[in-house]
Homo-oligomer: A and B are copies of this chain.
Amino acid sequence: MNKIGTYEFIAEPFHCDFSGRMFFGHLGNQMLNAADFHSTDRGFGMKYLMTINRSWVLSRLAIEMEEMPTQYERFTIETWVESAMRFFTSRNFCVSDGNGRVYGYGRSIWAMIDTVTRQPTDIYSIDNGAINNWIVTDKPCPIEKGGRVKMSENVELVKTIEVNYNDIDINGHVNSVKYIEHVLDLWDIDWYREHHLKRFEIAYVAEAHQSDLLNFYLEQTAENEYCVRLVKAEILTGNQVEVCRCKLLFTQ
C-alpha cells in the first residue's frame, strides 16, 4: 500500500460560499476525513482506536490555499504522515485537481489520548510502532508550520455565542471544524467580497461543551493578519478557559 493516501471529493454546492468557492470549514472537514481514511486503511484509524480506548486528538491545523475548489469541482486530497514521535505525529495534506494543479496545502499535529483517562498515550504502543512504517520524508509541503499564535493583551471581545447541539460531535465536545466556521463568521460577506482567506491556522487548547459560552477576542496583528482567541465561560462554574487560538491571513 502506498504511504500517501489519495482521496477524491467534490465541492458540493451547499458547501460553497456566496462566491461559489468551497468554505474553509468544509475543506477542513474533508482533510480530517482523508486523515481518517488514510489511518483506517493502514491500521491506526479512529474506528479501531475506539475499540482499545484510544483516540486521535487534533492539536493543530494550518491550511494555506492559493485558490479554492469551486462549486461542483472534483478535487483530490493527498495525505501522509511526515513524522511521528512518542506523543505527537504530524500529518500533511495536498489539495489539487488530481492532474497536477495544486490548490493548497495543510499541516496538522495530532496527539493520541486514552479515552478513559483523557491523558496522552504513547503512539508507538499501537501495533509495535507501526506508524513508523508509513512516514514520508520526501514529499514537500511548502507552507509554514503552525507556530505559537502570539497575542497581546490588546484584544477586543467581539462576539459571544452559546455552544449548540449541532456543534457537538460524538466525543461530546465541540467539533474541530465548527471553531473554524464560528471564527470565519466574525467577518461578513462584504469583507469576503474584498478579501480572500489565504491561510487559517488553529491551535486547540481545551475542549468546549454544550451550553458553554464562547467568547471571541480579536486582535489585528499586521495588515490583513488577524488573531482570534476563543475563551469558554463554563456555565456551571463561571470559569474562563482558553479553548483555541487562530491566526488568519487574508489577501485582497
Contact B47 A29 (CB under 8 A): no
Contact B177 A165 (CB under 8 A): no
Residues A18 and B169 in contact in the complex (CB < 8 Å), given A13-B36, A210-B188, A210-B189: yes
Q: Mark A178-194, 1 if CB is under 8 A from B, else 0.
A: 00010011011110100
Query: How far is B13's CA from A176's CA once the two chains are assembled, in angstroms?
Result: 12
Q: Which of B14, B172, B177, B185 contacts A169 (CB 8 A)?
A: B14
Q: Of residues 48 to 62 in A, which have CB atoms within 8 Å of B's CB atoms?
A: none
Residues A33 and B16 in contact in the complex (CB < 8 Å), given A71-B170, A170-B71: no
Does A83 count as interface, using CB distance less than 8 angstroms? Answer: no
Residues A17 and B184 in contact in the complex (CB < 8 Å), given A33-B12, A72-B47: no
Query: How far is B171's CA from A18's CA once the two chains are assembled, in angstroms?
Result: 7
Question: Number of A residues whose C-beta is below 8 Å from B?
Answer: 38
A26's closest neighbor in chain B, by CB? B166
Contact A169 B17 (CB under 8 A): yes
Does A115 count as interface, using CB distance less than 8 angstroms? Answer: no
Contact B168 A181 (CB under 8 A): no
Q: How far is the CB of A29 from chain B (nearest CB, A)?
A: 6
Query: How far is B25's CA from A33's CA once the two chains are assembled, in angstroms?
Result: 18
A24's closest neighbor in chain B, by CB? B166
Q: How far is the CB of A189 from chain B (nearest CB, A)?
A: 5
Instruction: Please name 14 pairs of A and B residues whose Cβ atoms are closer than 8 Å in the assembled complex, sorted by A.
Output: A14-B33, A14-B175, A16-B169, A16-B170, A17-B168, A17-B170, A18-B172, A25-B166, A164-B185, A165-B187, A165-B188, A166-B181, A166-B185, A168-B189
